[in-house]
A and B are shown apart, each in its own frame.
Chain A
């Protein structure tokens, strides 16, 4: 424990937990409901994470790695070790979590001011940060699984923060249950690996797989099982349905959990387990990710709720990351996770800022009917909220893949990976098509969102006077994260805006897959490098196409959105209604399950209960009556009472001997002695 990284990690892990405990028990009694406890704890975490990050940069060593573990459970031949793994990926991820979490805490001070459960909200934020750090630090699957579930719980608590609203309560349940589906797969995967390898730690599992202790179909299933967990958390198709609903939670929560960190846990897991995924499993991963990227983007195009647009865009971007893992460029997935966390959190804060000010403006007008999140009610906010506008614009450029911004670099790396994959396996040409298609649509709908919200004429002119820039607690994170959308932070010490070459690519170096049959990390990199130029041109092309279309349609109004909507016909309806996924799940999954449950309940109640349980009861009751009679008549009356009567009689007879006369007793003694002597003389 003399390792400074391990000590820092311990502090980073447990400080938010301490804040959670203090807040949940004493929060209400503290001044300002104790928000300073949470903000203080998380700020210390951020400082520690930054210093760890700086120390890592000073070492500048791709093989930087510290591990510490202890035996958690020891049962002779069977023992479970838990521990920390601190390497470059961990440190970067810790910094992301700490940074976004700190911003969220600060942002929430004003966003949730006056909320009835203000202190509890901060407590749950602490619990969430603790769990997320636990996932990041785990060096084994079992403690990762525990923190994984803790993240699920805290997300349930935070989505349902305003549980008085039915929609929020339903959304929190939906998020939790959908995640459970994936977690079952995760658990099966863990157990498959454990039975084969006999250990939960990544190192042992990688070695075990490399030594062929588990291979072929079993390994494919284990990998897909683990990936199912990632699908649940990262809301990949078909488990994506919970994330858009999770927007019912407070907007800072959406920024923290449903954009930057919690949903990144799935990608993080996929990045960690990449070396044991078989070619078959990787193909599944790639198709799920690619399809999700395109599919979610097509939904985002038609959404009118500003947060729903961002939610589907998150699903789509997560699909990108998963696609990158599937095509082998998993460090690009992690790179996109990093850049996406920054710009997507910022976009959510921006939307939070807009909603906040809409809400206040509507409140001034005593209008409680208008939806403050609907973009059709906005427009022309640009001059009223300059900080929000400009920082959101930076992030929008980043997510659309415009050169000079962070998203361009990471997206480009992913697209190059999928393009190279398709060049090597022409039968999988769909993967880059998914990727580039999603990139074009992303650029389109993100600018649609920006134009609808900030440009043009105000849709509700009477409101515009009351729209104000948000307070500095909310503007601060916006400015910070907006700045972090610029490419320069990710390519230092180099300043080439077209290449992701920099500290990140130096420190996070892909390692070879341990599964035989997978291409080596070097050959994947080589392929991606060759595809890089082509991917860059296409991606700039599609981004320009998307942005251009958006400008023509929503800024210049040259193309009528109405006409295009009518032209699209049923496709518009499908997209607006999210391809009727909720309805179809309800019709084909939930309702049949409910009917089945009712049938089983009928069997249980009408047959099992009535005949088996009650029958058993009746037999027992009859048997006990018989035994009761036996007990009373035979045992009680004859044996117990009989003994009593015998003793009573005997005593009555024998007491006559006790005359109380001393001489009688002496006579008995003498007679006794004489009798004894007579007996003895024989």
Chain B
């Protein structure tokens, strides 16, 4: 019963939740959490294809790279969020719309 489709299904749900989170949350931290969900959905896909698609260990290694990258991304993104807070006195991403000016 543990077939490739099952994993892909789970990963798709996770991805959709992530995208939904990124698009709808106003809190910057929550947006970042959505991004983490998207990345992990991709990880699941990598590992699943690695297991069922005959890709040996390459998929695992990619997954590890993604985890490391996610950590780095989180560090940079949180720094950005702190800067947004310093500038706008809020971490609400809707209010950081100075770019259109």
Minimum CB–CB distance from B27 to chain A (whole Å) comes to 12
B1 adjacent to chain A (CB < 8 Å): no
Stretch at the interface among B6-14, B17-25, B49-57, B66-74: B17-25
Please report the C-alpha to C-alpha distance between residue A662 and residue B93 in the assembled complex, in whole angstroms.
7
Q: Is the CB of A660 within 8 A of B22?
A: no
Minimum CB–CB distance from A341 to chain B (whole Å) comes to 100
Q: Is the CB of A661 within 8 A of B22?
A: no
Q: Is the CB of B98 within 8 A of A670?
A: no
A653 adjacent to chain B (CB < 8 Å): no
Please report the C-alpha to C-alpha distance between residue A662 and residue B31 in the assembled complex, in whole angstroms.
11
Q: Is the CB of A663 within 8 A of B93?
A: yes
- Kindly identify which residue among A660, A666, A667, A670 contacts B100, using a CB–CB cutoff of 8 Å: A660
Q: Is the CB of A661 within 8 A of B93?
A: yes
- Does more than half of chain B's interface fall in helix, strand or loop, or is it mixed? helix
Please report the C-alpha to C-alpha distance between residue A658 and residue B100 in the assembled complex, in whole angstroms.
6
Write out the residue numbers on chain B whose beta carbons fall within 8 Å of the beta carbon of A660: 97-101
CB nearest to A666 among chain B residues: B23
- Classify chain B's interface size: 10 to 19
Write out the residue numbers on chain B whose beta carbons fall within 8 Å of the beta carbon of A661: 93-94, 97
Write out the residue numbers on chain B whose beta carbons fall within 8 Å of the beta carbon of A658: 100
CB nearest to B95 among chain A residues: A661
Please report the C-alpha to C-alpha distance between residue A663 and residue B34 in the assembled complex, in whole angstroms.
12
A3 adjacent to chain B (CB < 8 Å): no
Please report the C-alpha to C-alpha distance between residue A660 and residue B100 in the assembled complex, in whole angstroms.
4
Residues A646-674 near B (CB distance < 8 A):
658-663, 666-667, 670
CB nearest to A663 among chain B residues: B23
Write out the residue numbers on chain B whose beta carbons fall within 8 Å of the beta carbon of A666: 19, 22-23
Q: Is the CB of B19 within 8 A of A670?
A: yes
Write out the residue numbers on chain B whose beta carbons fall within 8 Å of the beta carbon of A663: 22-24, 31, 93-94
Residues A607-658 near B (CB distance < 8 A):
658
Please report the C-alpha to C-alpha distance between residue A662 and residue B77 in the assembled complex, in whole angstroms.
14
Please report the C-alpha to C-alpha distance between residue A544 and residue B81 in the assembled complex, in whole angstroms.
134
CB nearest to A658 among chain B residues: B100
Please report the C-alpha to C-alpha distance between residue A661 and residue B23 in the assembled complex, in whole angstroms.
10
Interface 1/0 per residue, B59-101 and A, CB below 8 Å: 0000000000000000000000000000000000110111111
Minimum CB–CB distance from A653 to chain B (whole Å) comes to 15
Please report the C-alpha to C-alpha distance between residue A666 and residue B24 in the assembled complex, in whole angstroms.
10
Write out the residue numbers on chain A whose beta carbons fall within 8 Å of the beta carbon of B24: 663
Please report the C-alpha to C-alpha distance between residue A663 and residue B21 in the assembled complex, in whole angstroms.
10
Q: Is the CB of A670 within 8 A of B99?
A: no
Q: What residues of chain B have their CB less than 8 Å away from a CB belonging to chain A?
A: 19, 22-24, 31, 93-94, 96-101
**25 A-B pairs in the complex with CB atoms less than 8 angstroms apart:** A658-B100, A659-B97, A659-B100, A660-B97, A660-B98, A660-B99, A660-B100, A660-B101, A661-B93, A661-B94, A661-B97, A662-B93, A662-B96, A663-B22, A663-B23, A663-B24, A663-B31, A663-B93, A663-B94, A666-B19, A666-B22, A666-B23, A667-B23, A670-B19, A670-B23
